[in-house]
């Protein structure tokens, strides 16, 4: 069975990805900042490794743990909302967590994904990162971090065009998680079921796409 690696899998969408892939018999490598507290994640049967994406030493440790294991689908899911109002340090932390860290993860684990059959890398982006689609303003830290993520991963998809890798930036919908809040439109089960279908259908010619959980292409 294939192997999936999911970051930030102790709650929210990451936990639901782990549940659904494990239920389908995949090998699930999941990360959490505090594995000891990741009780629900461990109950899925996933392997759980520590990973704090803002800390380069933590990425070194994760890479060493993985060695040359093949990863069919890498899901860079960990993310944060960041400050609502202008805050220099908070904005920088949001850019690091949501854009720089997932890009470094892709660069560092490229060979692991290349060693697999499916060779897919997925970044949890957001429609909030769409500049064309922004007609409501606000949330400058979060929006700019997801726009930066899209720009960076789009570049990776072009740089790696002939490698056999397929990269996609996905919008999960507005989902009932700690981040999405209780008034969000859909639950995590629906979002992740849709995203898994989209991911399963990706082919190398799709690399660099920005797409939602229903398979709709999104404006940048």
d(CA 40, CA 162): 39
Length of the chain: 220
| Minimum distance from residue 195 beta carbon to ligand NAP (Å) | 10
Backbone angles phi, psi at 131, to 5 degrees: -75, -45
Sheet with strand 73-76: strands edge to edge: 47-50, 27-32, 3-6, 73-76, 120-124, 166-171, 209-212
For Cα atoms 55, 57, 58, give the angle at the middle one, nearest 5 degrees: 70
Residue numbers at the binding site for ligand NAP (CB under 6 A): 8, 10-14, 33, 51-54, 77-80, 97, 124, 126, 171-172, 174-175, 177-180, 184
The residue among 107 and 115 lying less far from ligand NAP, judged by its C-beta, is 107
Question: 155 or 185: whose CB is closer to ligand NAP?
Answer: 185
Give the helix/strand (H/E) hosting 197.
helix 188-201
Minimum Å gap between C-beta 52 and ligand NAP is 5
Shortest reach from residue 211's CB to ligand NAP, in Å: 13
Of 70 and 127, the one with the shorter C-beta distance to ligand NAP is 127
d(CA 50, CA 35): 6
Least distance (Å) between residue 164 CB and ligand NAP: 26
Instruction: Give the residue with the Cβ less far from ligand NAP, 11 or 42.
Output: 11
């Amino acid at each position: 069975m294939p192997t999936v690696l999911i970051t930030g899998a102790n709650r929210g969408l990451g936990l639901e990805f782990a549940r659904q892939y494990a239920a389908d018999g995949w090998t699930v490598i999941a990360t959490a900042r505090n594995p000891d507290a990741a009780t629900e994640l461990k109950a899925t049967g996933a392997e759980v490794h520590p990973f704090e994406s803002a800390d380069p030493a933590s990425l070194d440790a994760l890479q060493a743990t993985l060695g040359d294991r093949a990863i069919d689908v890498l899901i860079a899911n960990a993310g944060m909302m960041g400050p609502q109002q202008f805050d220099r340090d908070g904005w920088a932390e949001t850019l690091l967590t949501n854009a720089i860290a997932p890009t470094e993860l892709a660069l560092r684990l490229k060979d692991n994904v290349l060693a697999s059959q499916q060779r897919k890398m997925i970044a949890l982006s957001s429609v909030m990162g769409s500049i064309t689609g922004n007609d409501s303003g606000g949330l400058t830290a979060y929006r700019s971090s997801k726009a930066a993520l899209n720009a960076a991963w789009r570049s990776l998809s072009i740089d790696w065009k002939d490698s056999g890798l397929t990269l996609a930036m996905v919008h999960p919908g507005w989902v009932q998680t700690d981040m999405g809040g209780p008034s969000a439109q859909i639950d995590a089960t629906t979002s992740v079921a849709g995203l898994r279908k989209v991911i399963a259908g990706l082919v190398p010619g799709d690399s660099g796409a920005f797409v939602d959980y229903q398979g709709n292409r999104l404006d940048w």
